[in-house]
Amino acid sequence: MTTVQRAYKYRFYPTTEQAEQLARTFGCARYVYNHFLRLRTDAWYERQERIGYTDTAKLLTALKKEPETAWLQEVSNVCLQQSLRNLDTAFKNFFQGRAKYPTFKKKTARQSVRYTTSGFSWRDGQIKLAKQKEPLDIRWSRRFTGTPSSVTVSKDSADRYHISILVEEEVAALPFSKKEAGIDLGLTHAVITSGGQKVNNHQYLKQSEKKLARAQRSLSRKKKGSANRAKAKLKVARIHAKIADQRQDFAHKLTTQLIHENQVVAAESLQVKNMLKNRSLAKAISNVGWHQITTMLGYKAEWYGRDFVQIDKWYPSSKRCHACGHISDAMPLTVRVWDCPTCHAHHDRDINAAKNILKAGKAILAGADKLREHEQKTTAGRAGG
């Protein structure tokens, strides 16, 4: 059994009073984030002064006492403190090269706030947030074990409310499987496995493209600031939300199947962000969701005791013959089948690539096992000496 942190996401329907209180909370959290982002930025550029989380927490207490911003006291302080922690994390990610410089949050974008244990109550299977009188009307699509350690409440651009509940759970490792799979990520087919299985790319965006285009044309004709424009904008957002939900559902089902069936899953390490710069392929790459698939494979493998490995992005998986190792000089995307000039093996381009990815992935895992064994022997030797 492995103890893991899992987030369970549910949709809920707030009362009018709860919706108004949440709107105030979203607004206050956004204001605090933007206010201290400006403060920290100005402090550095004007005085070369660094301001951290501790400093901003003290300044927040003073800010709440000022007459102009006394309305910050109307919402839970837990959410405001968490907003400061999010800002501090954004700066750390920037300084460590993992993200760009923090930007201001917008009122029109997705809104979210996080409540830690002191900001909500969990009793009799119901959650009640701080500053609210009634528990949330949550649609419990599935149950979880354990006690929630934090909850994140969000409202997306389609006016849907969701709550993400973080809990610690014990997950049993899956039984050992003799099967292994290398996967090649594609566009016509979302995934091609080393066993020859080809999973179709459902192209959810393409299925809704005409409907989305009509909604966007209707939106463009509406007067800015009008109620009709707001309605048209909501309609566009709901179409996008449906596409995103379909894509996520597909990725979850696919990755769960791969992890349950195979002891080892190997994939390419793709730089999706750079590949999206190709105007001809950007829409197709975004539609298939490569990054989403590999991310899910990573954490699900960790949960269930499987091995997931990603090989180097420059590995010539498509040009290399999996039977003899011969590497062709060039392999344009138009070439879908080819014959090896050395061993004369006939290859389907994608299946051959998946087989090469599996071989390379197993070599990486074998190297890691040898290194781990060597380190254990060295540690034991030092302890014995």
Q: Annotated active-site positions, please?
A: 184, 268, 350
Distance CA 249, CA 230 (A): 28
Query: What's the CA gap between 302 and 297, in Å, rounded?
Result: 9
- 3-29 per-residue burial string, b: 16 or more CB within 10 A, e: under 16: eeeeebebebebeeebeebbeebbbbb
Please, what's the largest Cα pairwise distance for the chain? 82
Helix (H) or strand (E) holding 358: helix 349-384
Rounded to 10 deg, the angle between the 290-304 and 227-261 helix axes is: 50
C-alpha angle 298-162-141 in degrees, rounded to nearest 5: 75
Residue pair 370/206 in contact (Cβ under 8 Å)? The answer is: no
DSSP state, 320?
Answer: B
Cross-strand partners of 129 = 120
Lookup: tokens for 369:
């096992």
Sort 59 into a burial class: Cβ within 10 Å, 0-12 / 13-18 / 19+. Answer: middle
